[in-house]
């Protein structure tokens, strides 16, 4: 008799375990409608007449209180919403439109808090912008504080009544071509956390950023990476000068194809061209080890570079050189002063190269040099435009990340 009772008890346990697993499987399953997910990339998959919505599998919690979305493409109208919703949220509504949901909308910069009418909250967002949403661990009893960020800076917060059900990360879209990169494990640090600054430090070092995300000294490519026009470009705010004449990058992630270029370019260099491809630029390309100087065809120059390698670029200025880098200096006329032998490699360069008389052309001649892991790879003589040459980095395949030090020799 005891054996029979034990048998039935085991059967009941197994049934209960199976039911619990089924409930958990439903509970922790992401939901999406009129959207496609490819890894961490979400794309709108509708006809622009209907909303597409994604709801994450797990809610925000004290252990995981924050997430971010990076806009890869705004599509036709840029109607992208980032926020929090209940698990059973209706997927044909934008986050923030229905009760117990809240969201920041990129197209108008408004906050929608359980209503189809939003209130002005922050700036509009465009391609390359990073939108974050989180909950404050210090929320008072009965209230939940939800905050939003843009590119690492907090936009503001809103107090919500603490709902019995948890709130889940949600992304809404509403026009063709919209595409975002989802990071459900992003970290958010305030200035008080461990004495560290907010995530967006060093962004002020860059004058131009296209399809590149800045996190401290780290640059990450966030473009499509599907064609040669999908270049991610980062250009420093100031040109190289006699005080800061050299900079470096470390390849922390080579991405799919390591289409990473390090070089110099005039301030008005086109944003959809890799450094070195167009006139007014010179660059050493990691994927093939070639030097590109104002042309889409490169010259053999040095070894290829891979993850972990450190690439550097600098200028040897004449002793009497001074740069007038006024804000209006946008001259892109950088010319080569090189004989047909093209590339000079320091292993074979003789003293006769030190003092050569060039042609009478516009611009002061300087020597641009490149390094790999602390060793000089080669150099080339160029003429500076009126406003100088700016550190410029290009990336062009998904997953590429580099760590940049614009002043490695500053002590």
Q: What is the pLDDT of residue 363?
A: 66
Residues 158-176, mean pLDDT to the nearest whole number: 88
Pick 340 or 98 by higher pLDDT: 98
pLDDT at position 85: 95
User: Between 5 and 266, where is the model more confident?
Assistant: 266
pLDDT-based confidence at 25, cuts 50/70/90? very low
Structure tokens at 44: 């709108």
Number of residues that this document lists for the chain: 411
pLDDT on residue 358: 33
pLDDT in the model for residue 289: 96
* Average pLDDT of the segment spanning 364-381: 93
CB 44 within 8 A of CB 35: yes
**What average pLDDT does this structure show over 146-169?**
88
- C-alpha 70/C-alpha 47 separation (Å) is 22
- pLDDT of res. 152: 87
177-201 pLDDT tens trace: 999 999 998 887 654 444 443 444 5
Average pLDDT for 280-302: 95
Token pair of 53 as six digits: 């919505």
Q: What is 66-124 written as a DSSP string?
A: EEEEEEEEETTT---EEEEE-TT--TTS-TTSSTT-EEEETTTTEEEESSSS-EE-S--
Decide which of 194 and 41 is more confident.
41
pLDDT of 105-150, one tens digit each? 999 999 999 999 999 998 999 888 999 999 986 655 668 899 999 9
Lowest-pLDDT range of 17-26, 118-127, 152-161, 374-383: 17-26
Output DSSP code: residue 272: T
Query: Which is nearest to 222 in space by CA: 209, 213, 233, 234?
Result: 213
Residue 272 has pLDDT above 50, yes or no: yes
User: Higher pLDDT residue, 8 or 377?
Assistant: 377
Tokens of 20: 């619990």
pLDDT at 42: 95
Confidence of residue 357 (pLDDT cuts 50, 70, 90): very low
Average pLDDT, the chain: 82
Average pLDDT for 150-166 = 85
Q: Would you give the DSSP letter of residue 336?
A: B
Task: Report the pLDDT value the prediction gives residue 17, as an integer from 0 to 100.
Answer: 65
Higher pLDDT, residue 48 or 109: 109
Q: d(Cα 382, Cα 377) in Å, to the nearest integer?
A: 17
What Cα–Cα distance (Å) separates residue 234 from each residue in 205, 261, 271, 369, 402? 10, 11, 9, 20, 11
- Burial of 138 from C-beta contacts in 10 A (0-12 / 13-18 / 19+): exposed
pLDDT higher than 50, residue 294:
yes
For residue 343, report the phi and psi dihedrals to the nearest 5 degrees. -85, 135
pLDDT at 230 over 60: yes
Query: In this prediction, what percent of the chain has a pLDDT beyond 70?
Result: 78
Residue 378: band (very low, low, confident or very high) from pLDDT cuts 50, 70, 90: very high
Per-residue pLDDT at 134? 94
Mean pLDDT over 147-157 rounds to 91
At 224 the pLDDT is: 87
Percentage of residues of the chain with pLDDT beyond 90: 56
Q: Tell me whether residue 155 is exposed, middle or buried, using C-beta atoms within 10 angstroms of its C-beta: 0 to 12, 13 to 18, 19 or more.
A: middle
Residue 348 confidence (pLDDT) above 70: no
In the prediction, which pLDDT does 36 show?
94
Looking at 227-236, 264-273, 276-285, 327-336, which range is the least confident one? 327-336
Top-confidence residue, 208 or 141: 208
């Amino acid at each position: 008799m005891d054996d029979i009772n034990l048998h039935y008890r085991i059967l009941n346990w197994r049934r209960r375990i199976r039911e619990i697993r089924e409930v958990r499987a439903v509970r922790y399953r992401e939901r999406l409608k009129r959207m496609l997910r490819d890894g961490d990339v979400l794309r709108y998959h509708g006809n622009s007449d209907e909303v597409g919505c994604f709801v994450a599998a797990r809610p925000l919690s004290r252990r995981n209180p924050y997430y971010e979305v990076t806009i890869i493409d705004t599509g036709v109208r840029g109607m992208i919403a980032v926020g929090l919703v209940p698990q059973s949220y209706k997927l044909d509504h934008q986050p923030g439109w229905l009760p117990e949901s809240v969201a920041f909308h990129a197209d108008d910069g408004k906050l929608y808090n359980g209503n189809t009418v939003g209130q002005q909250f922050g700036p509009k967002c465009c391609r390359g912008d990073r939108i974050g949403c989180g909950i404050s661990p210090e929320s008072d009893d009965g209230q939940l504080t939800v905050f939003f960020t843009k590119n690492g800076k907090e936009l503001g917060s809103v107090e919500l009544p603490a709902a019995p059900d948890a709130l889940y990360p949600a992304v809404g879209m509403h026009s063709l071509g919209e595409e975002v990169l989802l990071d459900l494990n992003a970290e958010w640090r305030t200035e008080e956390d461990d004495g560290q600054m907010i995530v967006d430090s060093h962004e002020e070092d860059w004058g131009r950023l296209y399809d590149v995300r800045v996190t401290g000294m780290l640059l990450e490519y966030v473009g499509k990476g599907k064609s040669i026009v999908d270049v991610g470009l980062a250009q420093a705010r100031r040109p190289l000068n006699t005080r800061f004449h050299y900079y470096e990058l470390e390849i922390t992630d080579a991405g799919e194809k390591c289409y990473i270029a390090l070089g110099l370019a005039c301030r008005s260099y086109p944003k959809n061209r890799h450094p070195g491809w167009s006139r007014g630029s010179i660059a050493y390309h990691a994927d093939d080890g070639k030097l590109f100087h104002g042309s889409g065809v490169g010259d053999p120059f040095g070894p290829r570079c891979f993850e972990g390698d450190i690439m550097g670029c600098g200028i040897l200025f004449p002793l009497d050189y001074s740069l007038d880098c006024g804000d209006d200096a946008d001259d892109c006329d950088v010319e080569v002063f090189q004989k047909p032998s093209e590339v000079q490699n320091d292993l074979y360069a003789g003293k006769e190269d030190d003092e050569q008389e060039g042609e009478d052309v516009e611009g002061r001649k300087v020597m641009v040099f490149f390094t790999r892991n602390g060793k000089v790879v080669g150099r080339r003589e160029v003429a500076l435009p009126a406003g100088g040459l700016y550190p410029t980095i290009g990336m062009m395949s998904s997953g590429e990340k580099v760590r940049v030090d614009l002043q490695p020799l500053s002590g």
